[in-house]
Structure formats: structure tokens, C-alpha cells
Structure 1
């Protein structure tokens, strides 16, 4: 089977294709539809990982596509939610900057060593999970789900702290890894 033509890779590509639709729905204030699309994206994310492991369809392309699909959706949602006044800009800038630092570091590592293995760290997985919960809570609140207003301020602080910790963790780990290869 071709590395490209696997079910998990197709599901990751579907998630990437959903990003513009989510962005449009958020900018139009159609939070219920955006929430439904995010739910579909979440289900495809769970299935692609399960299928890849269960049916031995893990691939190098998939190791890049899956996190890229997640990042496109998360970062696009964060930026749009800040633009429409649902998230503070300080938080959006922090989350985007963290990912910019990580991607820049990965490119620098690859240029220095000629190798790159996508290895999400535990702090990164926790940060991403918190960001996804934050986005879903903000969208759900926009869709009219009651009782979420009090949850948002602490969730924003936790998201900020998790992003900073995971960003610093990546910088330290990959700097050490690059230094050990010299």
C-alpha cells in the first residue's frame, strides 16, 4: 500500500480540509455548525490513530500529517476566536508563538542534523489537549451552551501556562539533542 493512500492519512487530510469550513463558520458566528465540524474532526483524529496502530498503517507521511492537521485546526480556531473577540489576543499570540518556536526549532534541527523524527512530548500532548478543550468550550459557549462563562478564565490561564511549559520543554530537549549530535 502506498504511504499516501492509507485510511489514516485520508482522515488527516479530511481534518485539514475541514479547517476552512470551521474558520468560515466561526467568522460568521455560526458556532453550532463550527462545534459540529470540530466534533467530526475530533472523531476522525481518534479513528486515524486507532486505524494506523491496529491495522499497521503507520507511515512517515502520517507522522507529519496527523499533527499538522491538529495544529492547522487549533491555530486557525485560536486566531479566528481572538479576531471575533471570543479569546484574548495575549492568549492567541502565546499559543501561536509556542508553535512557531517549535516548528522553527524542528527546521533548525533538521538543517543541522539532516534528520527529524516527530516525537510529541508529554507536556506538548497535555498543552494541545488543554487548547482543544479551551477551543471547544469557547465555541460551545458561542453556540449557547450555558454555564461555561466561569470555566473560561481559569482554562485560559491553564492553557497559557501549559503552552509556556511545553514550549520551554521542547527548546531544552531539542537543544540538548542537537548538542549531543555535534
Structure 2
């Protein structure tokens, strides 16, 4: 499995490097940004490779509890989404270039769609794995964190929405870290509320990118405002699901300590 993981991560690294090289040559983007992102992509994929090697024992089918002999399609799609985070950052960094906006919109929407297809394929073809659950959550949160920061810098989302979504992501990260320090980690997996929150935010962000292309955007201002408040309401409501999960996990931690 080590070699198969290494070959797949190498393929994704080559693909992402080739993508930003093509954009750099065709659109004549900034050479310094291009060079720095080559380094970022290499570091990102190195961390991804390290994580996969350390957790290779999690490539286990949820249904049969049998170890996989190769990385299945659903996991491959999820890994592609994680691999694409630096590419999206590269495009967002240079969004002022007119033609990059088109590439950015296409890439962002396609990557968001992979969040739907990997889960669909996993369920339909019985490809759900323990590592897949971990990777799915990691990819969703890392992608949303990146896009939220850049959208905030570009003024595409209001202050209150950025603080809400970023607060939700930070609460998730700090909660996981807290239990890791207690040596009683929470299992990394998607929840129903988490998936609804992520789906709603991805839909909003996909629509927001249309601000780059819709010249009469002012006509849709009220519609986007309603979308922001609706998405913000979803984020806020399902934050309590995560609070209850951490609370129940902490009670389990206390219970085990008391019994021991």
C-alpha cells in the first residue's frame, strides 16, 4: 500500500504543478507567486503523503472491515480535492487577472462538486472506508477555511459571516486538538449537520464567484443577501451539533477515567 499511496500522491503533485505552470505560461502570471506556490504545493503534498503513510491502516472497508489492496475511486476523488487546495489558493491570489477569474470559477465549482460525487460513489459502490471519512472531513474544512479567508479579503462575504464560519472551523479544530492532548481523540468523520453546513456554504461560495462575471450584480444584491443569512443560520444551528458531540465525548472521557 505504501507504494500505491506514493504513486498516487506523486501523480497529484505532478498534476497540480503542471496546472499552475500552464496558467503561469498562458496567462503570464507573476513569476514570484508561481515559484512560491511550487514550494507550497510540494510541502502540501509531502504532508499529505506523511499523513496517508501514518494512517495506511485506516484503508479499511467500513462494510466488510477488510483492508483495501488499492486506493478506491471514492478515496481518490477525495484526495484530489485535498490536492487541489494550493491550486485554488494560487488562482484566488491572482484573481485580479481577468482570464484567471474564469479558470477560478470553473475549478472552484468542480472541486466543490467532488464533495458530492465521492460520497455518492462511496455509498453506491460500497466504497466507504475509515480513511475516507477522515479525508472527507479534512478536505472540506481545509478548503472552506482557505476560500473563506480569501473571500473575506476580497470583500465577497460580510464580516459577520466570515467570523461565524471561521469561528465554526476554529471550534472544530480546537475541540479536536483538546481531545488529542487528553489522549482521547474524537473519531474524524462527517456528521449530518456538518455535511449540510458544508454543502450550504459551498453552494453560497459557488454563487458568490459569479460576482466576477455578472455585470448587473446589483440587481441580485437582495437575493445574495438572503442566501448569506440563510447559510449563516444553518452554520449557527448546526454548531450546536458539534458542541453536543464534544460534550458527550468529554463525558465518556470522564467516565473512563473514573472507572480506571
- Partner of 1:172 in structure 2? 244
CA contact (8 A) 1:82 1:92 kept: yes
CA contact (8 A) 2:92 2:150 kept: yes
Match of 1:108 among 178, 199, 218: 178
- Partner of 1:24 in structure 2? 90
1:87-132 per-residue CA deviation (whole Å, 9 max, x = no partner) reads 1233212211111112222333455473533343333222222211
In structure 2, how many angstroms separate the alpha carbons of the residues matched to 1:5 and 1:86?
A: 37
Gaps of 5+ in 1: none
- Partner of 1:51 in structure 2? 121
- Partner of 1:75 in structure 2? 145
CA contact (8 A) 1:141 1:148 kept: no
CA contact (8 A) 2:78 2:136 kept: yes
In structure 1, how many angstroms separate the alpha carbons of the residues matched to 2:196 and 2:178?
A: 24
Q: Which has the larger radius of gyration?
A: 2
In structure 2, how many angstroms separate the alpha carbons of the residues matched to 1:43 and 1:27?
A: 22
The aligned length equals 182
Alignment of 1:66-145 (within 5 A): 66-112=136-182, 114-144=184-214
TM-score by length of 1: 0.84
Q: How far off its partner does 1:33 sit?
A: 1.6
- Partner of 2:21 in structure 1? none
1:42 counterpart = 2:112? yes
1:8 counterpart = 2:86? no
Gaps of 5+ in 2: 2-55, 60-69, 256-260
CA contact (8 A) 1:32 1:140 kept: no
